[in-house]
Chains A and B, each alone.
Chain A
Amino acid sequence: MSLNELWFILVAVLFIGFFILEGFDFGVGMSTRFLARNQKERDQLVSTIGPFWDANEVWLITAGGAIFAAFPEWYATMFSGYYLPFVLFLLALIVRGVAFEFRHKVHEKWISFWDWMIFVGSIIPAFVLGVLFTSLVRGMPIDASKNMYASFGDYFDPYSIVGGIAMIVLCLVHGLTFIGIRTEGQIRDRARSLVSKIYLILLAGLIVFAVLTYTMTDLFEVRPLATPLFLLGAVVTTVLGYVFSAKKREALAFTMTASTMLFTVTMLFVGLFPRVMVSSISSEYNLTILNASSGPYTLKVMTIVALILLPFVLGYQIWSYYVFRKRISDKEPVSH
């Protein structure tokens, strides 16, 4: 395996890790507005992700950094090309990030405002990232200079909109399942009964997504075996998640929603490979792991650094989940 391939896999792993981890805290953030009935319950929900959401977001920041270091042309093309969606995305992350910190330090009448910001700041990033990945796989107007000149219609078409909405629903199901693991009391039951209804929307969304993937992208052509298998995996794990959730097997249900996320995102990356961005103008202008990457020396340095650091990062992150494994009731203080 070449280092270019290794770094493509590492970037994919960082994004998969990000979607699985921040996916549930996006979901919890979204659910605060309708699952919780009062302030205490909203506090309880926020507490379930309190110690984690910040580190989860770092997976995305690291993915961005890894793209910059390993595939600078990809970084330059994508971030300048998706300019306005990224402005919206970053604004959402700003309000979300400070909302978690501010909400329990403000006057009571403002708590509701910051909880709304957590809601908005959770739903928009999920949507934008869903749109980003699906439109990126479908193809964007990238010219010979590797620059992308996109207009509204390039970002938003049926495929990318379904992709964005599917991501929101997937995060929500994932988050509600996480709430089931992390809480006790009424809210746990309510989360389970709500998630059972949303599963139907998710299943429908995944099927539409699969059909559109077939008609609007070349993923079935380039990966005739892998693409349908991953899609099938996503559907099967969704059904199993529903079943486990109904049986109150929350840990298994969570494993399933995480797997759905894994299958969906992996399908996109596998279908993309060895491309990193697809040009809708001409396949000659595709960015690939070869023409978008850094030089061999940089990739070597980065590989050594990543191989040394990643075990520690994974180790202490897993440890932190172990430290905060206790279920959260509605009686605990939110502040430290």
Chain B
Amino acid sequence: MEVLDLARFQYAATTIYHFFFVPLSIGLVFLVAIMETLYFFKKKEIYLDMAKFWGNIFLISFAVGVVTGIIQEFQFGMNWSEYSRFVGDVFGVPLAIEALLAFFLESTFIGVWMFGRDRLPRWVHLLSIWLVSIGTIFSALFILAANSFMQEPVGIAIENGKAVLNDFGAFITNPQLLVEFPHTVFGAFATGAFVVAGISAFKILKKQNLDVFKKSFTIAMIVAMISGLGIAFTGHWQAQHLMSSQPMKMAASEGLWEDSGDPASWSLIANIDEETRENKWSVEIPYALSILAYNSFEGSVEGMNTLQEKYTELYGEGDYIPPVGAVYWSFRIMVFAGAIIMGLAALGLLFIKKNNLINQSLYLKAMVGAIALPFIANTAGWIMTEIGRQPWTVFGLYTTAQSVSPNVTAGQLLTSIIVFLGAYTVLAVVLITLIVKQIKKGPYQTTDTKPDVDLFDKEAFGA
């Protein structure tokens, strides 16, 4: 295999793995912070038990997120040194700010929160978990600023063949960032919420610690519903923004080879043939693409063949069509997973309102399985975003083929892939074992004095 293929494989594999834990950590710590806040104001032990139980699961996910994140930071220099040379002036800035503003905050206050419960005034302890939560969100903001620059390079100029930052204000208010950041963060909240809800559903089905898990489920569902709406709106804005900023990505995500008719219809499923550049067949919803693209019942959308011609004129000879199948299907998987997430959240809130969640065993079982949904949606979303940008690393400026390190050999890359993926596999096994162990132990692990009683008649939700 070529160095470029290996470097791309390593980047994709390590990023996807890393991005299982990032949204989980962002979402879980937000929920834990809410629980700590409830404990602070209501002073009921149950909220403390909740915060500790979910806090433990958060810490496991955070630890893996951090160590896999270190690889992400150094991989740019190790595998993509030419890219780093080309964009260092711009791309290093958000990474350095992320470390200064977010990583120090998270790492310091996570220690304070973990070990400081009995040593600090209560409000300082509460503040520490919120600072961790804010840190994770800052972290998302700056890493997405870096990513948005790759999607839509603004605030920069090209000097002597290199990207040079010339307007930090424009860079940090990149239109792509303004749609990508809220979408990703809402997705992260939904991820945390669905993990909490799914584990709670499992425990409710087993009738264990119902007090803790019914409350946890309620909090998670409220967060999930709000996030679900946020995901839908921001996702729509993002798609509309991409229509103008990266039309090729959107055309690929629609499997649209030729220009669409007016009004444009949205392809639900299609059999895409990338060789002949056509779809063998497809099922389409009339008007839907016009609505998606322009909030209107009319308007046509440019297809990939037209865009290929335009790009050839603009950037010179080359293949500017990304791997269409991957982009098309990842987009659909993301949207469908997102829709199911919203439906399940709405249903959950309904059951909670009617106070008969406990009897919905089918729904609760579905919620256990639904833990996978946000992870699928997150991964699919990134596959669409990153593969849809190919052949570029920085859209319109620098290609992936140009980016790779010239001095790293295939053997070295292969070694690192084996080492990292081996370590990641072991981590995954340990991680799942540990989380299962935490779940089995339940919330009262330290004292074990609290009875495992069913409180659901006495105490209504949200009390």
Binding site for B on A (CB under 8 A): 50-52, 54-55, 57-58, 61-62, 64-73, 75-81, 83-84, 86-87, 90-91, 93-95, 97-98, 100-102, 105-107, 145-149, 294-295, 297-298, 301-302, 305-306, 309-310, 313, 316-317, 320, 323-324, 326, 335-336
Contacts and interface: CB of A to CB of B under 8 A. Distances in A.
A92 to B, nearest CB: 10
Interface in B69-88: 70-71, 73-74, 76-79, 81-82, 84-85, 87-88
Contacts of B98: 65
Nearest to A52: B111
A297 B88 contact: no
By size class, the interface of chain B is 35 or more
B438 A69 contact: no
7 contacts: A62-B96, A64-B74, A72-B92, A94-B67, A101-B60, A105-B437, A295-B165
Interface string B86-116: 0111111101111111011101111110111
A300 to B, nearest CB: 9
A interface secondary structure, majority? helix
Contacts of A93: 67, 70
A323 B99 contact: no
B423 A91 contact: yes
A51 B116 contact: yes
Nearest to B84: A76
B408 A298 contact: no
A75 B84 contact: yes
Contacts of A76: 77, 81-82, 84-85, 88, 405
Contacts, number: 221
Given A51-B111, A80-B79, A100-B63, 15 more contacts: A50-B114, A62-B100, A62-B104, A64-B99, A65-B95, A67-B92, A68-B77, A68-B84, A68-B88, A72-B88, A72-B92, A94-B70, A102-B63, A106-B430, A107-B437
Which of A55, A147, A326 has its CB near the most chain B CB atoms (within 10 A)? A55
Nearest to B75: A79
A61 B109 CA distance: 17
A98 B407 contact: no
B261 interface: no
Contact of B85 (A67, A70, A72, A309): A72
A71 B64 CA distance: 29
B416 interface: yes
B115 A77 contact: no
B interface secondary structure, majority? helix
B92 A86 contact: no
Interface string B413-457: 001100110010001001000100110000000100000000000
Contacts of A87: 78, 412, 415-416, 419-420
A58 B103 contact: yes
A80 B78 contact: yes
A301 B89 CA distance: 11
Contact of B92 (A70, A79, A95): A70
A277 B412 CA distance: 22
Which of A66, A83, A146 has its CB near the most chain B CB atoms (within 10 A)? A83
A71 B93 CA distance: 11
A324 B92 contact: no
A267 B54 CA distance: 47
A85 to B, nearest CB: 10
Given A61-B103, A94-B423, A336 B85 contact: no
B73 A61 contact: yes
A316 B105 CA distance: 8
A106 B441 CA distance: 12
B168 interface: yes
A208 B159 CA distance: 47
A62 B92 CA distance: 11
A97 B66 CA distance: 8
B68 interface: yes
B292 to A, nearest CB: 37
A75 B88 contact: yes
Nearest to B427: A98
Contacts of A69: 88, 92-93, 95-96
Contact of A320 (B67, B77, B112): B112
Contacts of B93: 69, 298, 301-302
Nearest to A87: B416
Which of B52, B66, B407 has its CB near the most chain A CB atoms (within 10 A)? B407
B74 A294 contact: no
Return the 3 tightest CB-CB contacts between A and B, nearest first.
Answer: A72-B88, A79-B77, A69-B92
A4 to B, nearest CB: 13
Given A54-B110, A323-B119, A294 B77 contact: no
Given A69-B95, A310-B100, A336-B115, A54 B66 contact: yes
Given A79-B74, A324-B119, A57 B107 contact: yes
Contact of B164 (A105, A148, A297): A297
Given A72-B84, A77-B81, A298 B111 contact: no
Nearest to A63: B99
B126 to A, nearest CB: 15
Contacts of A67: 92
A320 B438 contact: no
Given A87-B415, A94-B427, A301 B165 contact: yes
Contacts of A68: 76-77, 84, 88, 91-92, 95-96
Given A76-B81, A81-B407, A149-B407, A51 B112 contact: yes
A316 B81 contact: no
A61 B92 CA distance: 12
B66 A306 contact: no
B359 interface: no
A91 B164 contact: no
Contact of B165 (A50, A146, A298): A298
B376 interface: no
B400 to A, nearest CB: 16
B166 interface: yes
B207 interface: no
A54 B63 CA distance: 9
B427 A64 contact: no
Nearest to B142: A65
A72 B405 CA distance: 14
